[in-house]
Amino acid sequence: MEQRTREKASRAVSDILKAAGFDVHTAPAPLDLSAIRNNTYLLVMCSDDPGAADSYSETEYTIRVGQEEKICEKILVTFNPSITADNCIVWYPEEFAMYAGEAVLARVLGKTLVLPLDGSEETGSYKARTHHESEGGVRIPHLPVRIHRDEAEEKAGIPGVATLRFLPCWMFKYTCRGSAGYKDQNIQFDGSGSGAMNAINGALIDIDGDTITRREIPEGSEISKPSISHAEAEKKITSHLISSMTKRVRIRQVKGDAIFYEEKNLAPEPENISLELRELYVPVWQIKGKKIVEINAFTGERLIEPLDDGVEVF
């Protein structure tokens, strides 16, 4: 995340922890905050960088209290839904927004907010809710389900039962730096962009990455497994980017009274392209009757091309 966004997120987390009775201080980089309350010792890092998150998750932090070494709990605040951190308490946008609101309410009620950290509660406390206390559904990074079953069945136009499926994609961001030359022609390939690839059939699709959520998916949904691995996706996407950025140049040559034209393809090298991939799932209503129809559960569009190789769309 940008530095300004990180600073604002850090201040908001500080307010949440103070509402929970913590003594909060700024911490040296790469950390953002340290906090102490009773026997709970807490560190906070705000980051959307997968590498930084992995390093933070794998590092054990301790604090000396008297003659003892105490292990610090860790909160990772991230707005990148593809990040996981097994050794941290992760606050995605949903948790961040929820705890910020709970902190405001606790202050209004004159109570101490109790976050789901160490499980302790005190008299006069206001207990924060947590998504983990709900039905125990599965969390995956996905586009929100905006089209309900009844609406999908109506759009399909056929009698049949709709099943919600989450189909895997590889969302990517790329940066290209470099050039290629031939004789007196030189082509710059500097640029950046993003896109997504269907992780089942390899088709390129348009996805709005700003709408991704990690909320629990509806109970009874089906999650399809990717048939294209991370490494395979990198190769396919890199090949596509090289092909899309390839330029054909025409070189004019004069020899005596004759004029010749030579054509040459100039393309960036694979090492000139920096690629970042993350997994994402697209919700699709699949209606099975005498034929099969797929409705994108995010956009409501009836799919002309199937997102799943095993589906025939009429």
DSSP string, 182-248: ETTEEEE--EEEEEEEETTT--EE---GGG-B-PBPPTT-EEPPPSS-HHHHHHHHHHHHHHHH-EE
Do 163 and 87 lie in one domain? The reply is no
Q: What is the predicted pLDDT for the residue at 306?
A: 59
pTM (predicted TM-score): 0.57
Domain of residue 62, CATH code:
3.40.1350
Q: What is the predicted pLDDT for the residue at 176?
A: 92
Last residue of a domain, one of 87, 109, 133: 133
Structural tokens at position 73:
């709990």
Do 97 and 233 lie in one domain? The reply is no
Q: What is the predicted pLDDT for the residue at 140?
A: 85
- pLDDT tens digits, the chain, 314 residues: what are they? 889 999 999 999 999 999 999 999 999 989 999 999 888 899 999 999 988 998 998 888 988 888 888 889 999 999 988 788 888 899 988 889 989 999 999 889 888 888 877 444 443 445 444 444 333 367 888 888 889 888 988 888 888 888 999 999 999 989 998 888 877 778 888 888 889 999 998 999 888 777 788 778 888 889 988 999 999 999 999 999 999 988 888 877 777 778 877 788 888 889 999 988 888 899 999 998 778 889 999 999 988 765 655 443 32
Domain that holds residue 95: 3-133
Do 244 and 127 lie in one domain? The reply is no
Which residue, among 11, 77, 18, has the nearest Cα to 45 in the 3D structure?
77
Number of folded domains that form the chain: 2
Do 183 and 215 lie in one domain? The reply is yes
Do 154 and 117 lie in one domain? The reply is no
Last residue of a domain, one of 89, 108, 133: 133
Do 108 and 217 lie in one domain? The reply is no
Residue 307 lies in a domain: no
